[in-house]
Amino acid sequence: MVAMASTAADAGGQQPLQAEELALVEQVSAAVRQVDTPEAKTTLVAIDRQMQSLALFGELLTRYPSPLEEQHLGPMRRGLETLVETLVHTDQATFPFRAPTQALVGRAMNMAQINFLRMLWHVAGGLPDPAQAASLRETAARRLRASVHTRLVEEVLVDIVTDAMVDNKLRGQAVRNLAQLWGNRLTWRVHTFFPILAATWEARQRVHVVGGSLAGNCEIFQLMTAGGDAEFVDLLCDRDYGEVEVQAFREFLFGTSSEDLDRLALRMATEGLSSIELDSRVEEGGPVQRDAGSILFEFFRARLVQCSARRIAKSPGPRHTAEGYVMMAWLARQ
């Protein structure tokens, strides 16, 4: 497997996978080689091809100028501050057209990396040794979620930048943090940039939603005891927030839209119920196996799309996800 990684690097690119991810590739490949079947050989070829493709993505990424550096074209000049000035005047429709090319290439590379780690997750699950399969699949799931975290933080920051109702200074801070992500894509990881979100997303995976009175007290306790960062709740409550921020946090805890939660609350009041069953755990179970990255991404994106729809329609309810409100509080502290 070391030779495989070297082949990818020799292709002229910079490998997007970090040391722990390369170690996972080596472990999965070594396990597959022990199977010694035609299908196993095909799998090894697919892993090798994807490694080389990722290296080429890394090379392509470095061919485009970093948004952190100043560039000149004749009398024209652009750099980080001109990028900030441009992007704080974009919206969701125009943002992709205004974003730097390196950002767009990096976004595609991030998705390629997610899909590669998803492939390793599937391969690990098919190994004949149950103990080895379970161990490698858990490692692959953890690395996969870490890559998805990067995509989600980018989504959170872009959502803030493209909301005209957010203060321009805060939007500018979001652009500067996006530029750091884009300009350091090969080494940027959420657990070093914003560990609050990474720890809380991991903990949310283990929360069993009870429902009860729909106050969320049980879920908050589970979130904290499962490893969630207490600062996530502190940041959310640090400012004089209104009802919409509370609703966003309830959506995060229950995995259900504010509109559905309101309907449940009305049903409880109408039927005289003091509690209600509600289970929206973020889990892998079900008739069709779903990888940990897809589950986490869908859990976040469903709430993000609902928030965007409310902004566009000027409907009541949260305009941002709980992660978005926490990010804004964190940016305001910078």
Q: Which of 19-23, 171-175, 237-241 comes out lowest in average pLDDT? A: 237-241
pLDDT number for residue 132: 96
Beta bridge partners of 211: 277
pLDDT at 192: 82
What pairs with residue 73 in β-bridges?
Answer: 76
**Which pLDDT value is given to residue 13?**
47
What does the pLDDT look like over 110-137, one tens digit per residue? 999 999 999 999 999 999 999 999 999 9
Its pTM stands at: 0.82
pLDDT of res. 1: 39
Residue written as token pair 């283990």 = 206
Measured between alpha carbons, how far is 171 from 168 in angstroms, rounded to an integer? 5
**pLDDT score at 57:** 95
pLDDT at residue 102 greater than cutoff 90: yes
Q: What's the rounded Cα separation, in Å, for the pair 168 and 88?
A: 6
More confident residue, 48 or 192: 48
Amino acid 207: pLDDT: 59
Of 108, 242, 234, 87, the closest CA to residue 158 belongs to: 87
* Contact by Cβ (8 Å): 44, 29: yes
pLDDT tens for 271-326 read 554 444 444 444 444 444 678 788 889 889 999 999 999 999 999 889 999 899 88
Q: What pLDDT band is residue 69 in, cutting at 50, 70 and 90?
A: very high
Residue by residue, DSSP assigns 169-215 as HHHHHHHHHHHHHHHTTTT--HHHH-HHHHHHHHHHTT----EETSS
For residue 196, name the pLDDT band (cuts at 50, 70, 90).
confident
- Which residues are CB-contacts of 58 (< 8 A; sequence separation ≥ 6)? 13, 14, 15, 16, 109, 186
Q: Which structure tokens are listed for 210?
A: 């009870």
pLDDT attached to residue 8: 41
Whether the per-residue pLDDT at 250 is higher than 70: the answer is yes
Backbone angles phi, psi at 89, to 5 degrees: -110, 15
Angle between helices 101-125 and 292-313 (to 10 degrees): 140
Average pLDDT over residues 179-201: 86
The per-residue pLDDT for 228 is 61
How large is the average pLDDT for residues 3-27?
71
Is residue 9 very low, low, confident or very high in pLDDT (cuts 50, 70, 90)? Answer: very low
Asked if 154 contacts 162 with a C-beta cutoff of 8 angstroms, the reply is no
Quick check: helix, strand or coil at residue 221? Answer: helix
